[in-house]
């Protein structure tokens, strides 16, 4: 069995154990309402995590996702409040702006050769500043939190037979992301850039184009997530999305994507997203202090990263031993 398949089975197994533990210790965990709510909560993060998986597979990182969600949401709220533009046009503008924000990250990384960490940390502040500029204000200049009562956005925050639209969107985007990674040239090139950037460039792969593409997709996914988030909370503030980038990165890493690049996929990210949300949801049911909840989440993430590192090292050593054994057999013949 391939290393990737074994890692998937381990992730699914750990998720199943976690679900079993919380299901047996909390009478509320397996209720229909809780399951649909859990899927709704993980979908907002999961939509972004799908594209961030591609960024991390290229050995990159994006710290601006939470801020871009906030800017996109605030832009939509501003246009809804101050203009008479149709909802469809506002949504289209937000999607374009989100994609341009992601493209800006790609340009900083590939054209100006700024490290991903520094580039996206810088744009995080940029997007937060833009969110403040587009904030809805009172006559005295104070930021006002207006309730979103637009029918289109409220519809996007709704559900079909109990299944929220954002959950449906998440799984559709996840399937599309997995197909892109496994069945297209973009996916092949994404893995190649992450595994060995110099070799990929020598093979004729346009490193810059691949990086800009995955960052642009991430920006687009941030806007999609922001639109559904607005439908859910029915408002938007400049603080919307603060800290979201860390939840996204945690889900991707727990799902098996390596910071070193070249490894992981969207299927693992979906499992990682579900794992983190099940953990958060389950801990919340125990009514533990916030500090304890954060400590438990942090400890689990560290444990998963350590496990992944040890597991990958073991599998690499096993592969080396197997190749050495095959060479010895050939030499003996």
Return the structure tokens found at 236. 């938007």
Residues 181 and 145 reside in one and the same domain? yes
Q: Give me the number of domains the chain comprises.
A: 2
| Cβ atoms of 70 and 227 closer than 8 Å | no
Confidence band for 208, pLDDT divided at 50, 70 and 90: very high
Do 179 and 328 share a domain, yes or no? no
Cα 229 off chain centre by: 14
Least confident span in 15-29, 52-66, 157-171, 237-251: 15-29
Mapped onto helix, strand or coil, the DSSP state of residue 95 is: helix
The average confidence (pLDDT) of the chain is: 91
Do 156 and 223 lie in one domain? The reply is yes
Q: What percent of the chain has pLDDT over 70?
A: 99
- pLDDT value at position 1? 55
Q: What is the pTM of this model?
A: 0.93
pLDDT for 262-315, tens place per residue?
A: 989 999 999 999 999 999 888 888 888 888 888 988 888 888 888 877 877 887
Q: In the predicted model, is pLDDT for residue 29 greater than 90?
A: no
CA distance 49 to 253: 10
Q: Which domain holds residue 261?
A: 3-287
Q: Are residues 104 and 243 in the same domain?
A: yes
320 shares a domain with 173: no
Q: Give the span between the Cα atoms of 194 and 57, in whole angstroms.
A: 5
Query: What gap in Å lies between CA 147 and CA 138, rounded to an integer?
Result: 14
Q: In this structure, are 263 and 296 located in the same domain?
A: no
- The pLDDT value recorded for residue 3 is 66
Question: Same structural domain for residues 149 and 66?
Answer: yes
Q: Note whether 322 and 226 are same-domain residues.
A: no
Q: Do both 321 and 278 map to the same domain?
A: no
Nearest to 71 by CA among 46, 97, 53, 40: 97
pLDDT, average across residues 13-37: 89
Distance between terminal CA atoms of the chain? 27
* CA 106 vs CA 20, 25, 30, 73, 144: distances in Å: 41, 46, 42, 22, 33
Q: How far is CA 45 from CA 53, 228, 250, 320, 323, in A?
A: 12, 11, 10, 37, 41
Q: Is residue 154 within 8 Å of residue 231, measured between CB atoms?
A: yes
- The CATH code of the domain that includes 72 is 1.10.3470.10
- Look at residue 86 and give its three-state secondary structure: coil
Domain match, 321 and 210 both: no
Task: Note whether 192 and 298 are same-domain residues.
Answer: no
- In this structure, the answer to whether residues 307 and 283 fall within a common structural domain is no
Structure-model confidence comparison of residues 52 and 237, the more confident one: 52
Compute the half-sphere exposure of residue 102: CA atoms within 13 Å on the CB side of its CA.
31
Distance between CA atoms of residues 329 and 185, nearest Å = 37
Q: Residues, the chain, total?
A: 333
Label residue 2 by pLDDT band (50, 70, 90).
low
Contacting residues for 24 by C-beta, under 8 A, at least 6 apart: none
Q: How far is it, in rounded angstroms, from Cα 102 to Cα 216? A: 4
Alpha helix ranges (H) inside 58-115: 65-82, 87-110
């Amino acid at each position: 069995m391939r290393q990737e398949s074994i890692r998937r089975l381990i992730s699914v197994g750990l998720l199943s154990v976690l679900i079993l533990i919380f299901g047996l210790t909390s009478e509320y965990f397996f209720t229909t309402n809780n399951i649909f709510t859990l899927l709704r909560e993980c979908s907002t993060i999961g939509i972004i995590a799908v594209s961030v998986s591609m960024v991390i597979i290229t050995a990159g990182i994006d710290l601006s996702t939470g801020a871009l969600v906030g800017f996109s949401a605030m832009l939509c709220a501003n246009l809804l409040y101050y203009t008479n533009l149709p909802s469809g046009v506002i949504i289209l503008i937000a999607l374009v702006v989100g994609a341009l924000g992601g493209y800006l990250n790609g340009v900083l990384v590939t054209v100006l050769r700024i490290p991903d960490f520094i580039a996206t940390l810088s744009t995080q502040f940029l997007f937060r500043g833009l969110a403040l500029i587009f904030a809805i204000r009172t006559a005295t200049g104070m930021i006002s939190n207006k309730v979103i009562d637009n029918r289109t956005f409220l519809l996007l925050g709704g559900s079909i037979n109990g299944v929220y639209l954002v959950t449906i969107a998440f799984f559709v985007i996840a399937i599309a992301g997995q197909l892109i990674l496994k069945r297209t040239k973009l996916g092949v090139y994404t893995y190649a850039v992450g595994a060995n950037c110099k070799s990929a460039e020598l093979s004729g792969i346009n490193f810059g184009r691949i990086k800009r593409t995955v960052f642009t997709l991430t920006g687009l996914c941030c806007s999609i997530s922001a639109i559904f988030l607005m439908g859910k909370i029915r408002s938007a503030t400049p603080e919307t999305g603060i800290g979201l980038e860390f939840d996204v990165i945690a889900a991707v890493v727990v799902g098996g994507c390596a910071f070193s690049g070249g490894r992981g996929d969207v299927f693992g990210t979906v499992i990682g997203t579900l794992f983190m949300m099940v953990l958060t949801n389950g801990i919340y049911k125990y009514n533990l202090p916030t500090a304890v909840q954060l400590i438990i989440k942090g400890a689990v993430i560290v444990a998963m990263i350590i496990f992944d590192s040890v597991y990958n090292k073991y599998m690499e050593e096993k592969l080396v031993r197997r190749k050495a054994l095959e060479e010895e057999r050939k030499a003996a013949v």
